[in-house]
């Protein structure tokens, strides 16, 4: 399995500000993903972070609100822009490994609270 770390592990932010979340993997991976888990809810895929090209966003998520970078095969960032209390969630990154075509390994998550 992959060792995945996320920074910060948690943060409390003010409305209107932005937060950048980092995801670091201990080995090169092809596919990296970003998910959101709102309080008491299941996970929702935000986007696929593509190395060397723009991220692919799911319906309901846009680049202006959630810009993503993927500068290399071990690192990605997700920015939550112009935050509102509705953005309070756990944000998780995941990577795909070769164990199976859709087997993903998840980071520990970043717990964001927006006041």
Query: What is the total count of residues that contact other proteins (CB under 8 A)?
Result: 25
Q: First and final CA of the chain: distance in angstroms?
A: 36
Phi first, then psi, for residue 17 (nearest 5°) are -90, 175
Count the helix, strand and coil residues of the chain and give each as a percent rounded to the nearest 5. Answer: 5, 50, 50
| DSSP string covering 50-61 | -TTSPPEEPTT-
Of the candidate spans 60-68, 69-77, 78-86, 103-111, the one that interacts with other proteins by CB under 8 A turns out to be 103-111
Among 11, 22, 24, 31, binds other proteins (CB under 8 A): 31
Is residue 101 at the binding interface for other proteins, with CB under 8 A as the rule?
A: yes
Is residue 11 at the binding interface for other proteins, with CB under 8 A as the rule?
A: no
Among 11, 45, 50, 67, binds other proteins (CB under 8 A): 45
SS3 of 12, please? Answer: strand
Is residue 44 at the binding interface for other proteins, with CB under 8 A as the rule?
A: yes
The span from the CA of 18 to the CA of 109, in Å, is 17
Among 19, 21, 49, 109, binds other proteins (CB under 8 A): 109
What distances in angstroms separate CA 74 from CA 46, 49, 79, one per listed residue? 19, 11, 17
Among 22, 48, 81, 88, binds other proteins (CB under 8 A): 48
- Site residues, other proteins (CB under 8 A): 1, 4, 31, 33, 42-45, 48, 58, 92, 94, 96, 99-109, 111
């Amino acid at each position: 399995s992959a060792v995945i770390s996320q920074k910060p592990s948690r943060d409390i932010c003010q409305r209107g500000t932005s937060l950048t979340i980092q995801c670091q993997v201990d080995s090169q991976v092809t596919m990296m993903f970003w998910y959101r888990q709102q309080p008491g809810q299941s996970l929702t895929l935000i986007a696929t972070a593509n190395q060397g090209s723009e991220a692919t966003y799911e319906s309901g998520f846009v680049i202006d609100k959630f810009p993503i970078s993927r500068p290399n095969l071990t690192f990605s960032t997700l920015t939550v822009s112009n935050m509102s209390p509705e953005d309070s969630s756990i944000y998780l990154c995941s990577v795909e490994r070769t164990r199976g075509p859709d087997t993903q390994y998840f980071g520990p998550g970043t717990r964001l609270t927006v006041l």
